[in-house]
């Protein structure tokens, strides 16, 4: 008998490689503030809340909020289309559904962007529930996003697993009493997990498939 019947996926660095779209959009916004030196590592600007990222770059909360608004306006025009599904991910999702898994998206990325990306890759129909950050900031915590997904699926926590590439995914899973798979192939760094644990540190999508199926 399989251990899990429910899988929650993060978006950036887990389902899709969204690096180009995010980085290019941040750089465009920063130029508006006279900042042309962008030297953050991937795990510093992909994964954490973007408001925090802009504060780190600009050093002012008002400017950070303004920059985030500009980012979203720019991202929806071009950045959201600069991504690719990780190799093997489409087949994994198909196999999970063939084996009667419930699948949800649990992402800090706003829903409007996540839905567009899922549509681009023709996988939105495989997802039973979508739980994302809201544009108004009322929902922007990974623990809450995961909780909403689990409740939306009516899933048993002991049968659910979160797949993500950042420490936020592992913390959110632990605080929701579910297991986590760390997507080492994504943007996160195994050496920067602060003691958080996963049941699998997957170097490829195929490793996730073999573990779950």
Per-residue pLDDT reduced to its tens digit, 179-205: 999 999 999 888 889 899 999 999 999
pTM score, two decimals? Answer: 0.92
Report DSSP state, residue 100: T
CB atoms within 10 A of CB 74: 17
Reduced to 3 states, what is the DSSP secondary structure of residue 186?
Answer: coil
Range list of β-strands (E), the chain: 6-9, 16-17, 84-85, 102-110, 129-133, 160-164, 179-183, 200-202
Domains by residue range for the chain, with CATH: 6-17+84-212 (3.40.50.1000), 19-81 (1.10.150.240)
Over residues 80-126, the pLDDT tens digits come to 999 999 999 999 999 999 999 999 999 999 999 999 999 999 999 99
Over residues 22-48, the pLDDT tens digits come to 999 999 999 999 998 887 888 788 878
């Amino acid at each position: 008998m399989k251990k899990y019947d429910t899988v929650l996926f993060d978006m950036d660095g887990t389902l899709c490689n969204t690096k180009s779209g995010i980085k290019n959009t941040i750089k465009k916004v920063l130029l508006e503030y006279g900042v042309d030196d962008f030297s953050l590592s991937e795990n510093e600007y992909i994964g954490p809340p973007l408001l925090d990222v802009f504060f780190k770059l600009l050093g002012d909360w008002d400017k950070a909020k303004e920059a985030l608004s500009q980012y979203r306006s720019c991202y929806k025009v071009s950045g959201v289309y600069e991504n690719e599904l990780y190799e093997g991910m489409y087949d994994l999702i198909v196999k999970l559904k063939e084996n009667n898994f419930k699948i949800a998206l649990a992402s800090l990325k706003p829903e409007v962007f996540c839905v567009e990306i899922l549509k681009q890759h023709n996988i939105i129909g495989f997802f039973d529930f979508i739980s994302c950050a809201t544009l108004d900031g009322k929902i922007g915590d990974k623990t809450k996003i995961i909780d909403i997904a689990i409740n939306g699926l009516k899933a048993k926590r002991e049968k659910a697993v979160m797949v993500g590439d950042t420490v936020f995914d592992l913390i959110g899973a632990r605080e929701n009493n579910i297991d986590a798979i760390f997507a080492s192939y994504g943007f996160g760094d195994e050496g920067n997990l602060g003691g958080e644990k996963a049941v699998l540190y997957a170097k490829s999508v195929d490793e996730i498939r073999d573990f779950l199926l």
